[in-house]
Amino acid sequence: MSENKLLDLSFEFAVAIVNLVDDVTAPKSSYMTDQLARSGTSVGANIHEAQYAQSKKDFVAKLEIALKESNETSYWLKLMYQTKRIDTATYQYTEKLCGNIRRLLIASCKTAKESSK
């Protein structure tokens, strides 16, 4: 495990999303799984990209994109759960990870914005 909890959690989350999407067998679910895969893996991609931001402003912008993507991912997770494409345990695990990442992103954005003043 690295020294950056946000990087580690976002990668764990991306793995969980990929595995979830690969396990969905419900017919006519591809439009939802495609959206979930895109938004869910984008969270970590943007967090990782932020590590090499060109400025503090760029860093915050990347984290804010990750935050928006995590919010969208929560929507798709809830929709898939409510339409019985995923089970309760899968939903609870991935939504908990997503919520933890979202809280860390909010705190990181706030800290970065305050330190740049």
Instruction: Return the pLDDT at 25.
Output: 86
pLDDT single digits (tens) 104-116: 999 999 999 888 7
Secondary structure (3-state) at 41: helix
Q: Kindly report the number of other CB atoms within 10 A of residue 38's CB atom.
A: 15
What type of residue sits at position 44? G
pLDDT at 40 (0 to 100): 97
**Using 50, 70 and 90 to split pLDDT, how confident is the model at 1?**
low
Q: What is the pTM for the complete model shown?
A: 0.92
Structural domain boundaries, residue 64:
5-115
**How many domains would you assign to the chain?**
1
Backbone phi, psi, residue 38, to 5°: -65, -50
Closest listed residue to residue 84, CA positions, set 3, 14, 28: 28
Which residue in 34, 28, 16 sits closest to 76, CA to CA?
A: 34
Q: Let me know how many helices (H) and strands (E) the chain has, helices first.
A: 4, 0
Which pLDDT score, from 0 to 100, does residue 24 have?
Answer: 92
Q: Which CATH number belongs to the domain containing residue 10 in this structure?
A: 1.20.1440.60
Taking only the tens place, the pLDDT of each residue in 58-95 is: 999 999 999 999 999 999 999 999 999 999 999 999 99
